[in-house]
Amino acid sequence: MTESPPTPEQLEQHARIVSVAMDLARDGSTAELAEFLDHGYPVDLPDPAGNTLLMLEAYHGHLDTVRSLVGRGADVDRRNDRDQSPVAGAMFKGEDEVVRALVAAGADLDAGSPTARETARMFGQQHLIDGQE
């Protein structure tokens, strides 16, 4: 049995759900995001710009939510459409604790453009990656 393509209404509803989830990520609404994920929202589903929940959480410095998403299997190296990684975004914003949490979760400091290493050099954050060769 072949599935029929989504209707315009279904596509619009999907876009609204993604938008709400991304707004929750920007706001650091950990409990609300957990509910979305508990009800089947894919942890790595990107917005139209390729940003995932983790990317937005990292960029906005929401450490507890970053940890929650990593614990739920979020891809710490998933880059957006501009080839930016979550760890480089957190580095750019000066979110030291988020950078440390992502590095501890195995984030690749050489992924994306610019890489987290390049970003650290540009913004005087080298101390966050020293010893992370």
| Residue 2 maps to a domain | no
| Residue 94 maps to a domain | yes
- Can you give the pLDDT at residue 16? 95
Domain extent at residue 14? 8-128
Per-residue pLDDT band for 1 (boundaries 50, 70, 90) equals low
| Residue 29 maps to a domain | yes
| Residue 1 maps to a domain | no
47 phi and psi angles, rounded to 5 deg:
-85, 180
In the chain, how many domains are there? 1
| CATH number of domain containing 35 | 1.25.40.20
| Residue 45 maps to a domain | yes
Is residue 95's pLDDT more than 60?
A: yes
**What is the chain's percent helix, strand, coil content, to nearest 5?**
55, 0, 45
- Can you give the pLDDT at residue 125? 85
Share of the chain above pLDDT 70, in %: 97
Within 10 angstroms of residue 132's Cβ, the number of other Cβ atoms is 12
- Can you give the pLDDT at residue 132? 59
| Residue 115 maps to a domain | yes
Q: Write down the pTM of the prediction.
A: 0.90
